[in-house]
Amino acid sequence: MGGCCGTTDEHIAQIAQLVSDAEPHTPAPQHSELWLSGLELLPLTPERGFINVGERCNVAGSRKFLRLVKEGQWSEALDIARKQVDDGALVLDINMDDALLDARSAMTHFLCLLAAEPEIARVPVMVDSSDWNVIRDALGCIQGKAIVNSISLKEGEEVFLSHARELRRMGAAVVVMAFDEEGQATTYERRIEVCSRAYRLLTEQVGMPARDIIFDPNVLTVATGMAEHDAYALDFIRATEWIRTHLPEAHVSGGVSNLSFAFRGNNYVREAMHAVFLYHARRAGMDFAILNPATRVTYADIEPSLLEAIEDVILCRRPDATERLTQMVHEMSAEAEAAASAPQADNATQPAATDAPLSREALDHRLAEALRRGTTDGLQADLMCALELYGSPVAIIEGPLMQGMNRVGQLFGEGKMFLPQVVKTARTMKSAVEMLQPYMTDNSGSDAQPSQQRPRVLLATVRGDVHDIGKNIVAVVMACNGFDVTDLGVMVSPEDIVAAARELHPQAIGLSGLITPSLAEMQTTVRMLDEAGIRVPVMIGGATTSRLHTALRIATAYSGAVLHVADASQNVPMLAPFLDPATANDATAQLHQQQDALRQLHATPDTIVSLEEARAKKPKFF
């Protein structure tokens, strides 16, 4: 209590007298739970239990949102945010990380627009970016208490601590990813090791209240067809339980939709997988989840046989779980397709094996079918037939087998085949190549020396990026197609990639990355490869990469070919024409031409014509 201009000493003395026996105000005790806020408070009290974070305002996770932001259609972009709040999102994840966007300005612009919409701004924001500058800028335009998504130990303790201290000063809660200097933690043991180390650093060295820490022990894609990935979901659930038991007051979150990337193209199955995962992860203590709040599939609604198949996958209950689920999904899709189209008699696509010699078409069809189904039944016999018809193993590999692979890639791109099937196809290809191996003649002598003939490919996740699951799948698919793959790992500096390229003389190099800063790294890397005189084709792949960005920013820094590869089924067929000396020059010239055209298309400004031209175009009414 006190005075102001105009109140005299006597006046103040009277106030003092009047309140002399009043107790001073004691501030309320510190919250014991995590409190977040937009315009309204969102306490995470035990009764609330679970916070769903809307994932759709993410340029990397929604094509629609990306388009709206790119086109500056901000009010429609806001509608996506509003719809998520209407659908029950309690927090909104916002991500503007895209290669061809100015993420800092898009983020701050969108946040300022959000702040003016009370229906949306009611809920707290989760700022999602892999660029620290974007996060820092974003916090400058957020009222209330936000969550930062994310920090991690991937660049070591120093950067981690300095980021955490800055967040502490700005008063945000934080998602901590289970990454460290070695990469992303994928096993149960590594996930808890990284989280407990981060917990200690944050609580002991930064003085961050543990209730402000939200661990993300990495929701990774399951049912990819690779056995190494089978326990990913189970290990997440186990790590969640461990964190909730051993790291007091800390929370657990995860990006649930990552789980089901293998079933892109079948949203029902994806959502059913999410429901099953959430059911188990929540029981283990997961109290945040980034997801699509519009999903209506619940655990209880899932048909029992599908539920069992999904649960087998998520809880890693049997080695053939992926196989069985894929089969079931395939049958579901086939039934849906059959119901949608007029009844057709042509179900028997596989001609019965007969002793009569097969025509070339029939044989090609059988080989293509074997690849599509990922089976090896009868493959040996068919390949022997093919040897007679085609005359050489190479002609079979480059002809019908490569065509079959192309077809699989096409079906995958259309969402008609799923990732585990592509991996199976690759394994069939491997068997086919092995069966043909003894018939390959080799210049150096009679005994085959496969590793000397096999084209060598170098793969690396670029510096600053720890993601490698997609790249590992590429490695398997390429190895199955007869490539000798050397994987340099994650967070590989351009210098190390150049050094390895000089030492190993690969026929091609693949650069991979999931986050936007990786794109700049890729550019640096190809520039340094170019300076080192390396000209072999470079493949670019990963979530934030695109054909346009590759043409605009990466290909321009390299004299050789730089191919953007959209998914793991494409590396082999796309690379093939660049490795064959007969077609390499043409393929490179054609690629450069296409990329030139893309650049021109992109560079064309909203055409402003000359004054004369404009006048010449005026409407003539008479």
Shortest distance in whole angstroms from residue 62 CB to ligand THG: 4
Amino acid at 611: L
Q: Is 544 in the site for ligand THG (CB under 6 A)?
A: no
d(CA 297, CA 295): 6
Q: Which of 62, 403, 431, 546 binds ligand THG (CB under 6 A)?
A: 62
β-pairing, 538-541 vs 508-512, is: parallel
List, in order, residues 6 or more apart from 65 with CB less than 8 Å away.
56, 57, 58, 59, 77, 80
Q: Is 266 in the site for ligand THG (CB under 6 A)?
A: no
User: Which range binds ligand THG by CB under 6 A, 9-17, 100-108, 252-260, 324-332?
Assistant: 252-260
What is the spatial distance between Cα 14 and Cα 1, in angstroms, rounded to a whole number?
Answer: 11
Q: Pick from 44, 81, 219, 575: which binds ligand THG (CB under 6 A)?
A: 219
Q: For residues 574 and 590, is the Cβ–Cβ distance under 8 A? A: no
Distance between CA atoms of residues 593 and 81, nearest Å: 40
Please say if 377 is a catalytic residue. Answer: no
For 105: left if phi > 0, alpha if psi spans -120 to 50, otherwise beta; the answer is alpha
Give the binding range for ligand THG (CB under 6 A) out of 57-65, 227-235, 399-407, 457-465. 57-65
Phi, psi of 614 (to 5 degrees): -65, -40
549 given a catalytic annotation? no
Contact status: 289 vs ligand THG (CB under 6 A): no
Q: Which two tokens stand for residue 343?
A: 């009844």
Among positions 149, 224, 421, 569, the unique one binding ligand THG when judged by CB under 6 A: 149
Q: Closest distance between ligand THG and the C-beta of residue 511, in Å? A: 21
Smallest separation (angstroms) from ligand THG to the CB of 270: 7
Instruction: Indicate which single residue of 183, 217, 254, 400 sits in contact with ligand THG (rule: CB under 6 A).
Output: 254
Interface residue with ligand THG, options 150, 461, 516, 570 (CB under 6 A)? 150
Residue 93 is among the residues annotated as catalytic for this protein: no
Q: Which of 152, 253, 260, 518 is catalytic?
A: 518
> Residue 459 pairs with which residues in a beta bridge?
487, 510
Helix (H, G, I), strand (E, B) or coil at 188: helix
Count of positions on this chain that bind ligand THG (CB under 6 A): 18
Measured CA to CA, the distance from residue 213 to residue 580 in angstroms comes to 53
**Looking at 255, 420, 494, 573, which residue binds ligand THG (CB under 6 A)?**
255
Q: Using an 8 Å Cβ cutoff, are 540 and 511 in contact?
A: yes
> Among 203, 257, 333, 523, which residue interacts with ligand THG (rule: CB under 6 A)?
257
The piece of 36-44, 257-265, 422-430, 465-473 that touches ligand THG (CB under 6 A) is: 257-265
Encoded amino acid at 54, one letter: G
Among 216, 241, 465, 468, binds ligand THG (CB under 6 A): 216
Contact between 63 and ligand THG per CB under 6 A:
yes
Is 128 an interacting residue with respect to ligand THG (CB under 6 A)? yes
Compute how many other C-beta atoms are within 10 angstroms of the C-beta atom of residue 497: 27
CA distance linking residue 356 with residue 373, whole number of Å? 24
Q: Catalytic pick from 274, 280, 467, 564?
A: 467
- With binding defined as CB under 6 A, does residue 208 bind ligand THG? no
How much helix, strand and coil, in percent to the nearest 5, is found in the chain?
Answer: 55, 10, 35
Helices in 53-124 by DSSP H: which ranges? 63-70, 74-86, 103-115, 118-121
**Cβ nearer to ligand THG, comparing 258 with 428:** 258
Cα gap 100→349, rounded to integer Å: 45
- 64 lies in the site for ligand THG, by CB under 6 A: yes
Q: Which of 36, 44, 52, 55 binds ligand THG (CB under 6 A)?
A: 55
Considering beta carbons, is residue 150 or 224 the nearer one to ligand THG?
150
Pick between residue 137 and residue 216 the one whose CB is nearest to ligand THG.
216
How many C-beta neighbours within 10 Å does residue 264 have? 14
Unique residue bearing structure tokens 């699989």 = 408
| Cα(23)–Cα(466) distance, integer angstroms | 57
| Least separation in angstroms between CB 218 and ligand THG | 7
Helices (H), ranges, 182-297: 188-200, 232-246, 267-283
Among 38, 51, 57, 58, binds ligand THG (CB under 6 A): 58
- Interaction of residue 487 with ligand THG, rule CB under 6 A: no
Q: Is residue 271 within the footprint of ligand THG (CB under 6 A)?
A: no
Which residue is associated with the tokens 């193993």? 393
Hey, is 415 helix, strand or coil? coil
Q: Which two tokens stand for residue 482?
A: 């007869």
Least gap, CB of 61 to ligand THG (angstroms): 3
Q: Which is nearer to ligand THG, 132 or 439 (CB)?
A: 132
Read off the tokens for 120. 């949306």
Question: Per rule CB under 6 A, is residue 175 in the interface with ligand THG?
Answer: yes
Comparison of 91 and 371: residue with beta carbon closer to ligand THG = 91
Catalytic residues: 465, 467, 518
Binding residues for ligand THG, rule: CB under 6 A, are 55, 58, 61-64, 128, 149-150, 175, 216, 219, 254-255, 257-258, 264, 290
